[in-house]
Structure 1
Amino acid sequence: MPKQLQHFDAFTVSGLSIRTQNSDESNPKTAKIGALWRDFFGRDLMNSISNREPNTPIYGVYSGYDSDQNGLFDVNAGVRVSDLLDNDETDVEVGATTNEFTNIDIEAGEYMAFPTTGDMPQRIIDGWGMVWAHFEGETTYKRRFTTDFEQYVDNDNVVIYIAVEKK
């Protein structure tokens, strides 16, 4: 079944970041993503990030890919923020760290939506399995491996968005 395509203009997410790879995430001794989210929620960081846009969903952003889903990549747990230049931060770059938060620019472009179902966190694990399976057989679009993200509107409405381009 084809997934829905959605265009996104560029926007910025600010939050906590780690660098990992999928092979590490499959081993509880080396997994980092769960601890990242526990830290984000445990410290109530959603409400501590400056320039947070009102009513922003929470985002899990995947970027800085070394290669593909098998290489290293960055994961950011954060919220959408307004223009950082409004906060006198004139030299902030993509991936720059402001205080303890890392700012990630979501690239403008086409994203394929993968809605998730089930209980957390298994719904996210299963959602990524659906993404990988889809692109093993997909012939029209390919993953760009630039910025991908999970958008957490609430526990019942989580969508994984994958940056794509036509082959």
Structure 2
Amino acid sequence: MSVSVTIGQAIAKEGFKMSGTSARTTNAAEMSGNGVIGAQWGQFFGNQVMEKIANRKNDTILAVYTDYESDETGAYTYVLGAEIAEAGQDKELRTIAIPDQKYVVFTTRKGPVPEVVVEAWQEIWSWSKHNERAFVADFEVYDGRASDPANSQVDIYISIK
């Protein structure tokens, strides 16, 4: 099977705020089955977190990788939520600010979310060997194209220097 990930041109994106649930993890933990991301998604939907995000700009789910310890081998914080106009008062949710940044956008093929996202990250890690990532904040965009988990397309923004 051929992996189909589209790599876009470098773009500049204005910073934004988002609110959601957060957890600390590593890629090694996630790949070994001892990670937290799968459970975090389950809790996100099970606890209807999206409905709790005050001042939400839209219904697009963002999955942000930030607070990098080092690079893709170190620990990072995974924040699952949505873009907001301003911070709400909910103490259960974490609000973060994503700074103005340059990104390269990777777009997955259409398919089952877990499969296409993992494929895209494998492509990103390969791409990273020859390109300089900034490790500021990277994020996945789950918009209307991801409404069917069995046939979704996701954009992944990778921060670059």
TM range (shorter): 0.7 to 0.9
Residues 1:162 and 2:158 aligned together: yes
| Amino acid in structure 1 at the alignment position of 2:157 | Y
Query: Which residue pairs with 2:3 in the alignment?
Result: none
Q: CA deviation at 1:56?
A: 3.7
Q: For residues 4 and 37 of structure 1, what CA distance do their matches in structure 2 show?
A: 29
The residue that corresponds to 2:100 in the other structure is 108
Residue 153, structure 1, aligned to residue 143, structure 2: yes
Quote the Cα distance in structure 2 between the aligned partners of 1:49 and 1:17.
Answer: 13
CA distance in 2, matches of 1:122, 1:148: 19
Paired residues in the alignment total 149
Aligned to 1:62: 65
Alignment partner of 1:37 is 2:41: yes
| Match in the other structure for 1:4 | 9
Spell out, residue by residue over 1:46-97, the C-alpha distance to the aligned partner (whole angstroms, 9 max, x if none). Answer: 11111111x241100000000000000000000001123xx5x6xxxxxxxx
Question: Deviation above 3 Å: which 4+ runs of structure 1?
Answer: none
Normalising by structure 1, report the TM-score. Answer: 0.83
Q: Which runs of 5+ in 2 are unaligned?
A: 1-5, 147-151
Paired with 1:163 and 1:45, the residues of 2 have a C-alpha distance of 26
State the Cα RMSD in Å: 1.6
What's the CA shift for 1:119?
1.2
Q: CA deviation at 1:3?
A: 2.8
**Aligned-pair identity (%):** 33
**Which of 124, 127, 130 is matched with 2:120 structurally?**
127
> Quick one: which amino acid aligns to residue 46 of structure 2?
G
Which structure 1 segments of 5+ residues have no match? 90-97
